[in-house]
C-alpha cells in the first residue's frame, strides 16, 4: 500500500504569487528564506519540500511572473490595430503601482542571471517569449498596412530595449510625462 504524505495546507498558486512579489520587491540576494516564509505563510520545511531551495523558489517566481505577463502578450496577439497594444506593452510597467519595483526579469538579469545557468535560462526564455510576441504583432501590423513593412525582429528588440530602459528610468523619476513622450517617439518611429 502506497504511503501518502500529509495533505498540503496551502495553495501553491497563492504561494507562488507571494514568492514573486517578495523577489520583485527585494531582489534575490536580499530576500531571506524567512522573508519568503513570512510572505507565504508556509512553514520553511513545507516551502522547501514543495518548491525546493532558494534558487528553485526564484525559478517558481519567474514562472509566475511570466504567467502574469501572458495577459500583455495575449493582448499583443489579438488586438487590432496593433499600435494601441504596443503602447500598452510599453506603458503597462510604468503604472505607479508597478514602476517602483521595475521589472522582475530586468532586475534578476542584473542581479544574478550571469551567476547561474538555470536562472539565466529562465530569464532568457521569458525575454524570448516577449520578443516573439512583439515580432508577431509587428508582422501582423506590417501585413495589414497599419505599419510600413520593416524588419519586425529588429523592431521587436528595439521595443524590448525601450521598455526595459523606461522601467529603469521610471524608478528614478517621478515625471511620467517624460516617459509618455518617449513612448510617443518610439511608436512614431515605427510608422
Work out the number of other CB atoms within 10 angstroms of the CB of residue 21.
17
Nearest by Cα to 82 from 160, 146, 10, 159: 146
Q: Which residues of 25-44 are buried (b: 16+ CB within 10 A; e: fewer)?
A: ebbbeebeeeebbebbebee
Where is pLDDT greater, at 118 or 78? 118
The whole-number pLDDT of residue 95 equals 72
Residue pLDDT, tens place only, 82-110: 999 999 889 877 776 666 677 888 889 98
Please report whether residue 185 resides in a domain.
yes
Please report whether residue 90 resides in a domain.
yes
Please report whether residue 43 resides in a domain.
no
Would you give the distance in Å from CA 100 to the centre of its chain? 14
The whole-number pLDDT of residue 176 equals 72
The whole-number pLDDT of residue 3 equals 47
The whole-number pLDDT of residue 99 equals 60
Q: Are 20 and 57 contacting, i.e. CB atoms less than 8 angstroms apart?
A: no
Please report whether residue 28 resides in a domain.
no
153's grid cell: 525582429
Q: How many domains does the chain have?
A: 1
Please report whether residue 167 resides in a domain.
yes
Please report whether residue 41 resides in a domain.
no
Per-residue pLDDT band at 6 (split at 50, 70, 90): low
CATH number at 101 reads 1.10.357.10
Output the pTM of the full model. Answer: 0.82
Please report whether residue 156 resides in a domain.
yes
Work out the number of other CB atoms within 10 angstroms of the CB of residue 81.
12
Q: Which of helix, strand or coil describes residue 173?
A: coil
Where is pLDDT greater, at 121 or 79? 121
CA distance 168 to 162: 10
CA distance 109 to 29: 13
113: containing domain? 65-190
Please report whether residue 166 resides in a domain.
yes
Mind giving me the DSSP string for 97-159? HHHTT--HHHHHHHHTGGG-HHHHHHHHHHHHHHHHHHHHHHHHHHHHTSS----HHHHHHHH
CA distance 98 to 95: 5
Amino acid at each position: 500500500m502506497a504511503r501518502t504524505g500529509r495533505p498540503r495546507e496551502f495553495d501553491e498558486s497563492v504561494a507562488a504569487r507571494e514568492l514573486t512579489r517578495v523577489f520583485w520587491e527585494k531582489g534575490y540576494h536580499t530576500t531571506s528564506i524567512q522573508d519568503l516564509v513570512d510572505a507565504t505563510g508556509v512553514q520553511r520545511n513545507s516551502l522547501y519540500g514543495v518548491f525546493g531551495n532558494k534558487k528553485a523558489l526564484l525559478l517558481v517566481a519567474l514562472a509566475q511572473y511570466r504567467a502574469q505577463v501572458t495577459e500583455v502578450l495575449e493582448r499583443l496577439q489579438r488586438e487590432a490595430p496593433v499600435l494601441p497594444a504596443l503602447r500598452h506593452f510599453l506603458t503597462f510597467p510604468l503604472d505607479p503601482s508597478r514602476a517602483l519595483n521595475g521589472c522582475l526579469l530586468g532586475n534578476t538579469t542584473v542581479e544574478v542571471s550571469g551567476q547561474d545557468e538555470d536562472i539565466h535560462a529562465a530569464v532568457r526564455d521569458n525575454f524570448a517569449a516577449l520578443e516573439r510576441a512583439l515580432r508577431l504583432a509587428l508582422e501582423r501590423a506590417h501585413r495589414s498596412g497599419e505599419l510600413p513593412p520593416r524588419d519586425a525582429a529588429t523592431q521587436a528588440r528595439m521595443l524590448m530595449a525601450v521598455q526595459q530602459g523606461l522601467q529603469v528610468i521610471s524608478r528614478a523619476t517621478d515625471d511620467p510625462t517624460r516617459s509618455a513622450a518617449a513612448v510617443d517617439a518610439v511608436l512614431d518611429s515605427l510608422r
